[in-house]
Amino acid sequence: MLDSVRWWGTVCWFGAMAIVPLSAAEPKSETWKSLFDGKSLAGWKITRFGGEGEVKVDAGRIVLDYGNSLTGITYTRAFPKTNYEIELEASRLAGTDFFCALTFPVADSHASLILGGWGGTVVGISSIDGQDASENETTQYQRFEEKRWYHVRVRVTPKKIQVWLDKKPIIDQSIEGRKIGTRPEVDLSKPLGIATWETRGAVRKIRYRRLTPKARPATSSPAPAGDGKSR
């Protein structure tokens, strides 16, 4: 009888190991490819919003100066529409509004990740079903220190947009059956661009990688967004 119990326990243990959910696995991917050489704007162009501030490459970073109201850069080379990750480091050098609006492809549409908008603390995705980063389920708040670098990673798949900030998961947004778009102010950032709003910001270490056709879920689910809705 004891041998039978031991045998059954062993079977159950191996069975449990076999049904670990796929979401526990890191997605397979290609190697990272740099989008910024640290020395020039090769592959990028200054976004002509009208009223934009100076854009320059300095000390391995792209500095986006104060604009009236937007300053930004737009990528000019081929970039995937889905099943990819993009990451960068961003810093608010001065100012009180968003220091990084990362606009990126989502299948045949686009979305923007906003860091530090609406007075300096709003984080979220613009837009979902016509609601921008200050008023949808991705809305949350964070204080950002001046001159500190923040690591940002965005993953886009046919089912989700996921975001990590300083390696902490913060957004895990389903996009199936949802209308994804951007605010009209950043239309010139498409298909891939970075902008600031009346703020001096900098970005560096911009790179991306494609995800393979196999498992693409995150290793952990980002925390739910806050409930506040104010600008």
pLDDT at 11: 37
The position carrying tokens 């798949």 is 157
pTM, rounded to two decimals? 0.82
pLDDT at 29: 80
Spatial CA neighbour of 115 closest among 62, 194, 169, 48:
194
pLDDT tens digits, the chain, 231 residues: what are they? 434 434 444 433 333 333 333 343 566 788 999 999 999 999 999 999 999 999 999 999 999 999 999 999 999 999 999 999 999 999 999 999 999 999 999 999 999 999 999 999 999 999 999 999 999 999 999 999 999 999 999 999 999 999 999 999 999 999 999 999 999 999 999 999 999 999 999 999 999 999 987 644 544 555 544 444 433
Residue ranges of domains in the chain: 35-210
In terms of DSSP bridges, do strands 61-64 and 55-58 run parallel, antiparallel, or are they unpaired? antiparallel
The position carrying tokens 């299948």 is 107
Assess contact for 195 and 115: CB atoms under 8 A. no
35-210: CATH topology: Jelly Rolls (2.60.120)
pLDDT at 28: 76
